[in-house]
Every structure is written in C-alpha cells, then in structure tokens.
C-alpha cells in the first residue's frame, strides 16, 4: 500500500530568520515598494534629497538663526543635519513598517510568505532613502574639515544598527496591532512626532544635563534614539570642530551604546513574539 499522505498546515514561517533565508522575496518586496512609491512622480528618488533638505532649512533658520543656536555651537549646520537624517530614517522606517501588513492585505490573503517580510522590507526601503542623505552629509563634512578617528567611523554603523533594530522591533509590534486595532496608526504618528524632540537633534545634550540633573539625564540616555543621534554627532559633527571644544555624553561608547543595543534587542524580541502570536489571524482580520 502506498504510504498515507500527511497534510500539514502551512508553516508559521519561523519568524525573522525565514525572512533572510528567502532574501529573493525580500528583494522583490523592496523593489515593489520603491516602484509604487515613485510611480508617476517626476523627481523619483530625488525626493530623498528634497524632503530632508527642506526640513533642514526650516530648522536651521528657525533654531540656528532666529534662536541663535548657530552662534553658540561650532558647525551647527553639520550638527543639525547629522541628527535629522537619523530621525528621518527612524520615522520613515517605523511609520511604514507599522502600516505594511495592512497595506499588503491583498498579498497576505492570496499567497503564503513570512509575514515579517513586510515590515522588514519597509525598513530596507527607508535605508535606501537614507543613503543619498549620508552621501550629502559626508560631502558637507569634508568641506568643513572632517578629520575622523577610527572610533568615530565605527559610530556610523552603530547608530544605523540601533535605529534599524528599533524601527524593525516597533514596526513588528505596531504592524501586528494595526491589523486588529486601527487606532495603532494614531499611536505611531504620536511616537514619530515625539521622536524628533526626544533625542538631541534640535538642541544639545548638555542642555538636558544642566536642566534635569544627573538622575533624569540617565533616563534620557536610556532612549536608544538619543544614543544613536549622539553616535551620529560623534561620527560626523565632532571631527569637524575644534579639538577639545566639544564632547559627547560621558561613557557614550563604553556604556550607553551597549545599553541601547540591549534595549533595542528586547524591543525586537517583544515585537517578534507578538507578531508571531497574532500572524495566524491576519488573513481572517484583513
């Protein structure tokens, strides 16, 4: 007698590892998102320069010129832009990842693939948009006398890793919640709005230390975005300033960077666990 055929339910996908085992599908999703994003536009990928450029000009005029921050900080333009590109990366990656499952409802109901692929693809698309901004940032630094050390160069991948992991973890968490409660999108918008001010992008970390004191300042440094932005400052802005005139927060590399990586790791784990627990009901709810 022929052996009985065992029918099994589709695999739950084994989570994030399945996404990177099927990198060809991830590439297809990234290409699809880029094509949809710029379909019918004239500038296309040039919008990656236009939007942060206008944002930078507005903040520079309002804070640097009108409020006088430019007079108290060397190369304030580099300081400002090196923080803006990190926050923009987080805002785009997290915002799109949190909406990615609902936005791809038609695919989820028709074919099976690891559902985590949609938030991850959104983060990769945001990373592609970040590359031109990093190129502009590097050019600006070279024009004002950038002289990095090996430690400042290592700060760049550290900052990107922290923001990427944070956006992915929160994207998984809110992406799953958004399927069942569309109010989640409003919480995402609130987090994105607050993130610009929660990290020292538009102000110096010394202001927080002087106003809040050491205890509250330690809480401020527990924010992974704060650490990522300060790593970006250490990589791009600090090597353009007069040696010894400015400094990064104490123990940025030895303490706060490992703490930020640990916090983002926990957020990634929480987002993955919630996503895997709920993904079996996505097609039904969508």
The answer to whether position 26 is within a domain reads yes
The answer to whether position 2 is within a domain reads no
The answer to whether position 219 is within a domain reads yes
When divided into structural domains, the chain yields a total of 1
pLDDT by residue for the chain (286 residues), tens only, comes to 455 444 444 444 567 888 878 888 888 888 888 887 777 666 666 766 677 777 777 877 776 677 666 777 888 888 999 999 999 999 999 999 999 988 888 888 887 788 899 999 999 999 998 988 898 888 889 988 888 889 889 999 999 999 999 999 999 999 999 999 888 888 999 999 898 888 999 888 998 999 988 888 999 999 999 999 999 999 999 999 988 888 889 999 999 999 999 999 999 999 999 999 988 888 787 6
The answer to whether position 5 is within a domain reads no
Domain of residue 242 covers 16-285
The answer to whether position 121 is within a domain reads yes
The answer to whether position 1 is within a domain reads no
Task: Count the neighbouring beta carbons within 10 Å of the beta carbon of residue 191.
Answer: 17
The answer to whether position 10 is within a domain reads no
The answer to whether position 130 is within a domain reads yes
């Amino acid at each position: 007698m022929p052996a009985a055929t065992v029918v099994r339910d589709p695999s739950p996908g084994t989570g994030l590892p399945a996404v990177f085992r099927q990198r060809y599908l991830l590439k297809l999703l990234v290409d699809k998102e880029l094509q949809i994003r710029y379909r019918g536009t004239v500038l296309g990928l040039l919008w990656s320069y236009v939007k942060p450029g206008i944002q930078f000009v507005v903040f520079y005029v309002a804070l640097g010129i009108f409020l006088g921050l430019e007079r108290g900080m060397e190369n304030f333009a580099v300081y400002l832009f090196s923080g803006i590109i990190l926050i923009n990366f987080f805002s785009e990656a997290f915002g799109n990842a949190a909406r990615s499952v609902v936005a791809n409802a038609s695919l989820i109901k028709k074919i099976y693939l690891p559902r985590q692929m949609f938030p991850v693809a959104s983060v990769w698309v945001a990373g592609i948009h970040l590359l031109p901004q990093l190129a502009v940032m590097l050019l600006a630094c070279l024009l004002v006398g950038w002289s990095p050390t090996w430690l400042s160069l290592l700060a760049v991948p550290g900052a990107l890793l922290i923001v990427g992991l944070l956006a992915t973890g929160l994207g998984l968490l809110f992406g799953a919640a958004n399927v069942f409660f569309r109010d989640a999108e409003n919480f995402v918008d609130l987090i994105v709005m607050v993130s610009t001010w929660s990290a020292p992008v538009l102000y110096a970390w010394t202001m927080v230390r002087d106003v809040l004191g050491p205890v509250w300042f330690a809480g401020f440094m527990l924010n992974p975005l704060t650490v990522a932005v300060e790593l970006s400052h250490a990589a791009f802005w600090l090597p353009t300033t007069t040696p010894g005139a400015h400094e990064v927060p104490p123990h940025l590399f030895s303490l706060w960077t490992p703490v930020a990586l640990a916090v983002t790791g926990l957020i990634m784990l929480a987002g993955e666990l919630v996503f895997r627990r709920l993904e079996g009901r996505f097609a039904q709810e969508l």
